[in-house]
Structure 1
Amino acid sequence: MKKLRMTTAQALIKFLDNQYVSLDGEEIKFVSGMFTIFGHGIVLGIGQALDENPGGLKVYQGRNEQGMAHAATAYAKQNNRTKIIACASSIGPGAANMVTAAALATVNNIPLLLFPGDTFATRQPDPVLQQLEQSNNLTITTNDAFKPVCKYWDRVARPEQLMTAIINAMRVLTDPEQAGAVCIAMPQDVQGESFDYPEEFFQKRVHRITRPTPVAEEVEDVTKLIAQSKYPMIICGGGVKYSNAGETLVKFCEEFHIPFGETQAGKSACKSSSEYNLGGVGVTGNLSANMVAEKADLIFSIGSRLSDFTTGSKSQFKNLNVKFITLNVSKFHANKLDSVKAIGDAKSGLEAICKALKGIGYRSSYQDEIAIAKSEWQKEMDFFKEYTYGDDFKPLVKAGNPGSIEEFNKLTKSALTQTAAICLVREMIDKDAIITGASGSLPGDLQRMWTTEAKDSYHMEYGYSCMGYEIAAALGAKLAMPEKEVYAMVGDGSYLMLHSEVITAMQERKKINILLFDNSGFGCINNLQMSNGIGNLATEFRYRDNDNSSSHDGSLMTIDYAMAAAGYGLKTYTARTLEELKAALEDAKKQKVCVLIDIKVLPKTMTDGYKSWWNVGIASTSNKDSVLDAYKRKEENLKNARLY
């Protein structure tokens, strides 16, 4: 057996450079590169290996460890999980910064490979700089925090342990059922230690991503239940997108006359123009999908986690006789809502079920209900497009302080509503442009209002709904598809939380467009608190004029985001009217550098809910009648919710 002597870090890089995946006969290089912010715990180990011989791996310079890991997650998501960029950090704060990103990747079943530096395996120089010490257990380091948020966790305490650790990492990263964050903790001394590695460890490895088909008995169970239904509805989840099953799903719906609604993860798997596509379903769903959902006698969930936003906290489907079917590669997700389940790939599973249904000549009993539901939502969309600030203006979201709207208008001179701005953006940008988003009121507006004709053009992270993902995700999506225009849809709250990776985008000469919707606050949470009887507490961006006040009692803060971003070198614009926004969007297309459009949108002009309910914790004891009323409403809604 021929052996190669090298350090642990050198062996790691050589191994990563020889990993491939195979899907439907196409072979794809799996690891494209590595994001890193070098620190003392990694620069002389993995850093040395990358400097000496990176192979085909490209090194990217992150600005914030959480941000760079978000960008890596977005890169994998945009590539439908067939390519990844690994991430390496120093010990201590560098590692801890990636924990949030690891959780996000795991929740969304996106492969993310992390190599946080670790303390010395020998423990001889302890405590080293940035070391976390627990007096009751000296084996604990910051990297133990990754255990609950990763699908696989390991620590390479000896050079020879790298082999089993990284092979198991690949097993998880390339498995559609298990995909999520993987953490391999790398003690800084071990990175530089040498070992005689067998040459075959570095051979080209091709990890086959297969399409498991549900067993015949499960196909029969599902087919039987569909055959008994008159008004079925399909939920198109992220599994449809990752399986490239969008066209298969549309053909299935056309064949059997079945409408479908989309989750945030499933949107853009299918064209919005399909006559059977009702759009977003659930808490952030639109009127047409939720109209059909509440009367459906069968819900067929494909590739969805069935989160509370999709199911309306298990109260969305109001037909007393409603049944549930799931098609999912994950047994865990397939068992939700006490469903009749089929375990398998979305595409191959649909094909098997389609064949069985054709054999019995099934067709649903819908007449014109689908078309009526879609026309009702189109009326709302027509209104949103023309919704502007004027004499007869009324806020779309009723909960809140109306004075904030007038104050914002006076301070910013803006008459722009969020819904009209979104309609204009959709009209102006390329039809195949990619939008990214994650948090605040924008995901609700976009799931309801955004239309997609190009596959994978809607990139929303709503499993973890992580503020700060949006701009990093735009970078990741642009790295994945450099030929496409990419737009980060971000609120001012999220922008302030994390926008550092725009500097990496500038550095890499990868143009991203930041559409910053500024309403001087955390508008989404302000709606939530005030609609449930709580006062306006720490959700608007206000000055504190009275130090003795428990809340911020001064005027709204106004920030010139365009001016600040111009200092980074971005091309910037400010939009207070539809005309200014249109001009900015047109000119932005001509730019070669990153763009930021500071869109001043009036508070309370985002969309509100449609025939749905979200279960949140509300105080059952309070001195405020408004809170008690909210609690009573919650208890009433719970009566219509499933318990498991």
Structure 2
Amino acid sequence: MTVAQAVVEFLGNQYTVDKVGAEEYRGRLIPGMFGIFGHGNVAGVGQALKQYQHNDPAFMPYYQGRNEQAQSHQAVGYARHTRRRATYAVSASVGPGSTNLLTGAALATTNRLPVLLLPSDVFATRAADPVLQQLERPDAYDISVNDAFRPLSRYFDRVSRPEQLFSALLNGLRVLTDPADTGAVTISLPQDVQAESLVVPAEFLAPREWRIRRPDADDEDIRRAADAIRSAKNPLIIAGGGVLYAYAEGELAKFAEATGIPVGNTQAGVGVLPWDHPRSVGAIGSTGTTAANAIAAKADLIIGIGTRYEDFTTASRTAFQNPLVTFININVTPLDAYKHGTALPIVADARKALVKLNAALGGYRVGADLDQLVADCKKRWDAIVNTAFDTRHTPLPSQNEIIGATNRAMDAADVVVCAAGSLPGDLHKMWRIRDSFGYHVEYAYSCMGYEIPGGLGVKRAAIAEATAGGTQRDVVVMVGDGSYLMMHTELVTAVAERLKLIVVLIQNHGYASIGALSESLGSQRFGTKYRTHDAEHHTFDDGDTLPIDLALNAESLGVKVIRVAQGENAIADLEAAVTVAKAAPENDGPVLIYIESDPLLDAPDSESWWDVPVSEVSELESTQQAFAGYTQSKSRQRQLLG
């Protein structure tokens, strides 16, 4: 068989096995492959997929996309919803087709989510150098554009000879299924090698199982952690995505309820507890709630569980103001367990560590003062969000009202998907989560354009979940106009496959998030509005609003569109539109709900900070004032948390 045929047959026989408590899992690791074919892979991977489609359509299904980056986003969305138990492979042609995957690789690796990338490469034999789309460097002729994947991937290999395929795939899938080391796995396939034949050992193609490693916590580490918790007056848990990937929500709830320790969550950790759980203080950090941030400021012990401590989580190291604060970091990845000079790193699966901590802390509970503080802070924040959701603005509603209406119209098990702009921060602090699978915001890379393809990946995973007898879920993508214009073309994919994806498109005629940030930094929303060009002053800030009809754009792609008219009934109409979209048949294709908003109406303040440097010297008074405020906030920043 050819190298490409061996790739396809090998991947079709790979299985993930996992055990969480008494639950046993076994499923396809790579349930399908995306690809856009060109001269780099049409006769290699493309031919192999066609051959297997002809012989057995279910063995390695092929999925068509409109952009290679978007295809990798679909794979990542699928991987996250399946809790890293499965992902897709993505094949790309040589040159620009492959480099379109670079952003996808960086996003996957940053989010610690698995995706298998198979970019084509130039001739290994150099028989036809330079081929179409080949990059030539006179100082290093063995470098191709695919070498750009090296720093973006958790594993990179190039199959320059057919017999190298065996070790490349085995090493790649080892990384793909390792929760401590996962991310983008890139195996570069020269176009001539893809079509070459080789003798493949039967054992290489036989069904193979990859068991997800879930390391247990060291008993001495647990003892020391339990001692530290008992000694703390104001402990706080920061729960990240690692809690969800470990299926540790139940143990976390048991731990919080038994000890009374409040739980704040990162973006990736939304869903670890329902929003109204008595011990949940919600989002923490720069996009956090006033409840979580008030408690974090006083905390003398932080118990980080499955968090990578992004700067939004720590409010750029200003969130924790108690000079005696220390950290216990529980993480399956050593890099994250040792962050911030932690007093006690515990390299372990989150669920297994919590099981041991629950046993070690029998009878311990925080004091009444912390109980009362949590209750008071939660009550205050809930009132703030109620006001933000219920206050009506006309003719254009605020984004707060739009989030509230969408949240109310969705069922508990439905999934909201977002990634970039002002929406992720507002969702983080205000979304009222009721199901641990119900929130999917890509914020480690915060990639504009992720929303629709990522939402399709989630939808594919939700369909597989329901088909296997699991929960039925609708997937609702919330996206602003700026991010929509980056990568809306995967709506065509949803139309072609009749995938029911609900998209709430918020039109605010510009980049609302960066506009607000720019204004806060003294740059007066420069370059963030969608306006006609003023040639005399060379500015886009003051012209007429662009006559863009994004609803009509979606209709032209074959999408069913519901327009929400401006005015006092906009929010009620939006809520009704989401209900109508949810009632549509499952195989009826995507529905887009179009609504305009006022970008100048802000979300409630998190009473926190994010470090974005301001010009020290400026002729603009607004920048001078912003720098004075920046200097004051910067003075609260700690270099090492401890």
Q: TM-score, normalised by structure 1?
A: 0.93
The offset of 1:298, in angstroms, is 1.0
The offset of 1:322, in angstroms, is 1.2
Q: Which residue of 1 aligns with 2:639?
A: 643
Which one is further off, 578-587 or 283-292? 578-587
Q: Which residue of 2 aligns with 1:442?
A: 423
Structure 1 counterpart SS, 2:371: coil
Q: Which amino acid aligns with 2:5?
A: Q
Distance in 1 between residues matched to 2:151 and 2:601, nearest whole Å: 38
Q: Which amino acid aligns with 2:104?
A: A
1:154-233 map, 5 Å? 154-233=157-236
Q: Does 1:74 align with 2:77?
A: yes
The offset of 1:587, in angstroms, is 2.0
After superposition, the Cα gap between the structure-2 partners of 1:606 and 1:514, relative to the gap in structure 1 and judged at 3 Å, is: farther
Distance in 1 between residues matched to 2:542 and 2:278, nearest whole Å: 50
Q: Which amino acid aligns with 1:23?
A: D
Structure 1 counterpart SS, 2:215: coil
Which one is further off, 97-106 or 134-143? 134-143
1:7 aligns with one of 2, 24, 29: 2
Q: Which amino acid aligns with 2:486?
A: M
Is contact 1:574–1:580 with CA below 8 Å preserved after alignment?
Answer: no
The offset of 1:566, in angstroms, is 1.0
Q: Which amino acid aligns with 2:437?
A: D
2:492 aligns with one of 496, 503, 508: 503
Q: Which residue of 2 aligns with 1:421?
A: 402
Distance in 2 between residues matched to 1:276 and 1:288, nearest whole Å: 11
1:570 aligns with one of 552, 559, 572: 559
Is contact 2:230–2:364 with CA below 8 Å preserved after alignment?
Answer: no
Q: Which amino acid aligns with 2:597?
A: V
Q: Which residue of 2 aligns with 1:305?
A: 308
Distance in 1 between residues matched to 2:127 and 2:378, nearest whole Å: 68
Q: Which residue of 1 aligns with 2:445?
A: 464
Distance in 1 between residues matched to 2:620 and 2:397, nearest whole Å: 34
Which one is further off, 151-160 or 25-34? 25-34
Question: Number of paired residues?
Answer: 615
The offset of 1:608, in angstroms, is 4.3
Is contact 2:533–2:539 with CA below 8 Å preserved after alignment?
Answer: no
The offset of 1:491, in angstroms, is 0.6
Structure 1 residues 564-598: Cα deviation after superposition (integer angstroms, max 9, x where no partner): 11111111012231132133222212332211111
Q: Which residue of 2 aligns with 1:538?
A: 527
Structure 1 residues 183-218: Cα deviation after superposition (integer angstroms, max 9, x where no partner): 000000000111111111112111111321121222
Q: TM-score, normalised by structure 2?
A: 0.94
Q: Which amino acid aligns with 1:431?
A: A
Structure 1 residues 251-271: Cα deviation after superposition (integer angstroms, max 9, x where no partner): 100010110011110112322
Q: Which residue of 1 aligns with 2:512?
A: 523
Structure 2 counterpart SS, 1:310: coil
Which one is further off, 583-592 or 15-24? 583-592
Distance in 1 between residues matched to 2:282 and 2:545, nearest whole Å: 35
Structure 2 counterpart SS, 1:616: coil
Structure 2 counterpart SS, 1:51: helix
Structure 1 counterpart SS, 2:478: strand
Distance in 2 between residues matched to 1:297 and 1:9, nearest whole Å: 56
Structure 1 counterpart SS, 2:103: helix
Q: Which residue of 2 aligns with 1:32?
A: 31
Distance in 1 between residues matched to 2:93 and 2:278, nearest whole Å: 51
Structure 1 counterpart SS, 2:583: coil
Structure 1 unaligned blocks of 5 or more: 1-5, 391-413
Distance in 1 between residues matched to 2:485 and 2:102, nearest whole Å: 20
Is contact 2:506–2:597 with CA below 8 Å preserved after alignment?
Answer: yes
Is contact 1:232–1:364 with CA below 8 Å preserved after alignment?
Answer: no
Distance in 2 between residues matched to 1:367 and 1:8, nearest whole Å: 62
After superposition, the Cα gap between the structure-2 partners of 1:437 and 1:228, relative to the gap in structure 1 and judged at 3 Å, is: same
1:597 aligns with one of 564, 580, 593: 593
After superposition, the Cα gap between the structure-2 partners of 1:561 and 1:305, relative to the gap in structure 1 and judged at 3 Å, is: same
Q: Which amino acid aligns with 1:21?
A: T
Q: Which amino acid aligns with 1:386?
A: D
Q: Which residue of 2 aligns with 1:580?
A: 573
The offset of 1:374, in angstroms, is 0.6
Q: Which residue of 1 aligns with 2:469?
A: none
Distance in 2 between residues matched to 1:330 and 1:353, nearest whole Å: 19
Which one is further off, 41-50 or 628-637? 628-637
Identity over the aligned pairs, expressed in percent? 41
Which one is further off, 479-488 or 555-564? 555-564
Structure 1 residues 165-189: Cα deviation after superposition (integer angstroms, max 9, x where no partner): 0000011000000010010000000
Is contact 1:388–1:415 with CA below 8 Å preserved after alignment?
Answer: no
The offset of 1:388, in angstroms, is 2.0
Q: Which residue of 1 aligns with 2:411?
A: 430
Q: Which amino acid aligns with 1:419?
A: N
1:257-272 map, 5 Å? 257-272=260-275
Which one is further off, 533-542 or 324-333? 533-542
Q: Which amino acid aligns with 2:36?
A: I
The offset of 1:103, in angstroms, is 0.2
Distance in 1 between residues matched to 2:538 and 2:198, nearest whole Å: 64
After superposition, the Cα gap between the structure-2 partners of 1:26 and 1:579, relative to the gap in structure 1 and judged at 3 Å, is: closer
Q: Does 1:622 align with 2:618?
A: yes
Distance in 2 between residues matched to 1:580 and 1:151, nearest whole Å: 46
After superposition, the Cα gap between the structure-2 partners of 1:276 and 1:558, relative to the gap in structure 1 and judged at 3 Å, is: farther
Structure 1 counterpart SS, 2:162: coil
Distance in 2 between residues matched to 1:198 and 1:588, nearest whole Å: 51
Q: Which residue of 1 aligns with 2:466?
A: none
Is contact 1:441–1:606 with CA below 8 Å preserved after alignment?
Answer: no
Q: Does 1:348 align with 2:352?
A: yes
The offset of 1:551, in angstroms, is 4.3
After superposition, the Cα gap between the structure-2 partners of 1:630 and 1:545, relative to the gap in structure 1 and judged at 3 Å, is: closer
Q: Which residue of 2 aligns with 1:125?
A: 128
1:326-365 map, 5 Å? 326-339=329-342, 340-358=344-362, 361-364=364-367
Distance in 2 between residues matched to 1:362 and 1:218, nearest whole Å: 20
The offset of 1:429, in angstroms, is 1.7
Q: Does 1:292 align with 2:281?
A: no
Distance in 1 between residues matched to 2:583 and 2:260, nearest whole Å: 44
CA RMSD of aligned residues (A): 1.4
Structure 1 residues 413-438: Cα deviation after superposition (integer angstroms, max 9, x where no partner): x4322111111111112221111100
Q: Which residue of 2 aligns with 1:18?
A: 13
Structure 1 counterpart SS, 2:84: coil
The offset of 1:130, in angstroms, is 1.0
The offset of 1:442, in angstroms, is 0.4
Q: Does 1:147 align with 2:128?
A: no
Structure 2 counterpart SS, 1:368: helix
The offset of 1:221, in angstroms, is 2.3
The offset of 1:501, in angstroms, is 1.1
Q: Which residue of 2 aligns with 1:411?
A: none
Is contact 1:283–1:609 with CA below 8 Å preserved after alignment?
Answer: no
Q: Which residue of 2 aligns with 1:405?
A: none
Is contact 2:384–2:604 with CA below 8 Å preserved after alignment?
Answer: no
The offset of 1:364, in angstroms, is 4.6
The offset of 1:559, in angstroms, is 2.5
Which one is further off, 345-354 or 363-372? 363-372
